[in-house]
């Protein structure tokens, strides 16, 4: 009897312990669905490592996306549904970023882009904008030690002309402190506009042509890619773009870069977008690639 009980307990521990680890590792609810997604994405990551560098750019993309871009949408609506103010919604959205950013790289993702603050957002009430800028400062100060420990390179793209000097100083320190990290990169789009990005790239190419540094005939998509703000990444164009809240558009974000990007629009509001939802997005991406006969 004691021997049988020992066998049963051993069997249960072999099943339960890995399940608990998956739930803890990605901060997702313990369920068969999430365990299945974790196993599939982990297996894809292992295949990527085995096959990377073997045959060309398509294989280099591997079975998992190398660049995931996320539009953090729904903070204000999340707050409204709970009878809270806009600032509390922004704070909840910031917590979601801080709690999950490490896990966004755990599946072998190289680059993660966050559309944190658009140029259009300056049109919001002044007190809300000030709160957001102050919140960004707190996040940079509190999260920098963690990002350095995780080996994440931080890049902030956008106009920067209206951003407070104190925040610009912290951004400069963060970029300098992490510039030598290679395997993981976090791109934060702050005061970013996709239209402006294309415009500044065109102006840069025109200036170089005017000064004789390039010939007009040589201007092509590759040169354009190098002038865009996302050229700071080894993988400048996202494979998967996620916009939370159910809005089915990319607005003014990565207009050029998303020409061949898979677009995923979950209905969940950003503060509720956790590890389970991220696994679901990756699972959707893999299914979408297989459906069209592409190697993923």
Active-site residue list: 73
In sequence order, the β-bridge partners of residue 187 are: 113, 155
Coil/strand/helix, residue 155: strand
Longest CA–CA separation in the chain, Å: 88
Residue 43, number of CB atoms within 10 A of its CB: 11
Distance CA 273, CA 170 (A): 27
Q: Are strands 262-264 and 240-243 parallel, antiparallel or unpaired?
A: parallel
Lay out the sheet containing 262-264: strands in order across. 152-157, 184-192, 111-118, 67-71, 240-243, 262-264
Which H or E run includes 187? strand 184-192
Residue at token pair 């399940």: 19
Residues 6+ apart with CB under 8 A from 210: none
Distance CA 295, CA 239 (A): 13
């Amino acid at each position: 009897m004691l021997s049988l009980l020992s066998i049963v307990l051993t069997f249960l521990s072999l099943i339960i312990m890995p399940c608990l680890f998956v739930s803890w590792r990605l901060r997702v609810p313990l369920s068969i669905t999430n365990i299945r997604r974790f196993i599939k994405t982990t297996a894809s990551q292992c295949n990527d490592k085995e096959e990377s560098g073997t045959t060309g750019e398509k294989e280099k993309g591997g079975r998992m996306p190398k660049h995931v871009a996320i539009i953090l949408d729904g903070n204000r609506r999340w707050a409204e549904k709970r009878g809270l103010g806009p600032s509390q919604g922004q704070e909840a959205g910031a917590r979601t970023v801080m709690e999950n950013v490490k896990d966004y790289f755990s599946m072998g993702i190289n680059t993660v882009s966050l559309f944190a603050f658009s140029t259009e957002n300056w049109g919001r009430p002044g007190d809300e904008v000030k709160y957001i800028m102050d919140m960004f400062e707190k996040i940079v100060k509190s999260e920098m030690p963690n990002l350095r420990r995780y080996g994440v390179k931080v890049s902030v793209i956008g106009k920067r002309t209206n951003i407070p000097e104190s925040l610009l100083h912290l951004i400069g320190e963060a970029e300098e402190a992490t510039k030598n990290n290679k395997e993981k990169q976090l791109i934060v789009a702050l005061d970013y506009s996709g239209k402006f990005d294309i415009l500044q790239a065109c102006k840069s190419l025109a200036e170089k042509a005017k000064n004789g540094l390039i010939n007009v005939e040589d201007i092509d998509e590759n040169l354009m890619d190098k002038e865009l703000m996302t050229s700071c990444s080894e993988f400048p164009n996202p494979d998967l773009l996620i916009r939370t809240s159910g809005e089915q558009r990319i607005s003014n974000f990565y207009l050029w870069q998303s020409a061949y990007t898979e677009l995923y629009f979950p209905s969940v509001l950003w503060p509720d977008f956790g590890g389970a939802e991220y696994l679901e997005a990756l699972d959707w991406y893999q299914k979408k690639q297989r459906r069209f006969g592409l190697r993923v």
